[in-house]
Chain A
Amino acid sequence: MATKILSVDDSRTIRLIVGKAFRPYNVTVLEAANGEEGLAIAAREKPDLVILDVTMPVMDGVTMLAKLKEDPELKAIPVIMLTAESGRDNVLQIARLGVRDYLVKPFKEDQLLEKVGRCVTLEKRPVVAPA
Chain B
Amino acid sequence: MAGSPDINQFKELARRYGLAAVPESVSRLTQLVARQDSCVDEIVRVIEKDPTLSARLLRVANPRAADESEYTVGTVNEALMRNGIGCALLLAMGTPLSAALIKTFQTMLSLKLEPVDTHQLDSLVGAHMRCSIGFAGKVTGHVFLRMSFTTAKAIAAGILGLEPAEVTDKDEIRDAAGELLNIMTGNFKSNLCDAGLDCKLQPPKVGMTEDFETPVEPGGGLERLAFRAGPIEIFVDVTANPWDD
Interface set of A (CB-CB < 8 Å, partner B) = 11-14, 16-17, 20, 54-55, 57, 83-92, 95, 101-108
Instruction: Please give me the 9 A-B residue pairs with the lowest Cβ-Cβ distance, nearest first.
Output: A84-B186, A87-B190, A102-B17, A106-B104, A106-B107, A11-B179, A87-B193, A85-B186, A84-B183
Judging by beta carbons under 8 Å apart, are B175 and A91 in contact? no
Set of chain A residues within 8 Å of B17, measured between Cβ atoms = 91, 101-104
**If A88-B7, A91-B14, A107-B107 touch, does A55 touch B186 (CB 8 Å cutoff)?**
yes
Per a CB cutoff under 8 Å, which of A85, A92, A102 touches B190? A85
Chain B interface bracket (under 10, 10 to 19, 20 to 34, 35 or more):
35 or more
* Minimum CB distance partner of A55 in chain B: B201
Interface set of B (CB-CB < 8 Å, partner A) = 6-7, 9-10, 13-14, 17-20, 100, 103-104, 107-108, 156, 159-161, 171-172, 175-176, 178-179, 182-187, 189-191, 193-194, 201, 203
Set of chain B residues within 8 Å of A16, measured between Cβ atoms = 160
A89 CA to B182 CA, complexed, in Å: 19
Judging by beta carbons under 8 Å apart, are A13 and B190 in contact? no
Judging by beta carbons under 8 Å apart, are B160 and A13 in contact? yes
> What's the least CB distance linking A100 to chain B, in Å?
10
Set of chain B residues within 8 Å of A17, measured between Cβ atoms = 108, 159-160
Judging by beta carbons under 8 Å apart, are B9 and A13 in contact? no
**If A11-B179, A92-B9 touch, does A57 touch B203 (CB 8 Å cutoff)?**
yes
Per a CB cutoff under 8 Å, which of A14, A88, A101 touches B10? A88
In the complex, 23 of the A-B residue pairs with CB atoms within 8 angstroms, ordered by the A residue number, are: A13-B156, A13-B175, A13-B176, A13-B179, A14-B179, A17-B159, A17-B160, A55-B186, A57-B203, A84-B182, A84-B187, A85-B190, A86-B190, A87-B190, A88-B6, A95-B13, A101-B17, A104-B18, A105-B186, A106-B107, A106-B183, A107-B107, A108-B108
* Minimum CB distance partner of A103 in chain B: B17
Set of chain B residues within 8 Å of A88, measured between Cβ atoms = 6-7, 10, 190, 193-194
Judging by beta carbons under 8 Å apart, are A55 and B182 in contact? yes
A20 CA to B108 CA, complexed, in Å: 13
* Minimum CB distance partner of B11 in chain A: A88
State the majority secondary structure of interface residues on B. Answer: helix
> What's the least CB distance linking A90 to chain B, in Å?
7
State the majority secondary structure of interface residues on A. Answer: mixed
> What's the least CB distance linking A97 to chain B, in Å?
13
Per a CB cutoff under 8 Å, which of B14, B159, B187 touches A13? B159
Judging by beta carbons under 8 Å apart, are A83 and B186 in contact? yes
* Minimum CB distance partner of A12 in chain B: B175
* Minimum CB distance partner of B161 in chain A: A20
**If A11-B175, A83-B186, A87-B189 touch, does A108 touch B107 (CB 8 Å cutoff)?**
yes
A115 CA to B160 CA, complexed, in Å: 20
Judging by beta carbons under 8 Å apart, are A20 and B160 in contact? yes
> What's the least CB distance linking B33 to chain A, in Å?
17
Judging by beta carbons under 8 Å apart, are B183 and A87 in contact? no
Set of chain A residues within 8 Å of B9, measured between Cβ atoms = 92, 95
Judging by beta carbons under 8 Å apart, are A84 and B185 in contact? yes
* Minimum CB distance partner of B173 in chain A: A13
> What's the least CB distance linking A2 to chain B, in Å?
22
Per a CB cutoff under 8 Å, which of A11, A13, A83, A91 touches B13? A91
A108 CA to B103 CA, complexed, in Å: 11
**If A57-B203, A86-B190, A88-B194 touch, does A106 touch B175 (CB 8 Å cutoff)?**
no
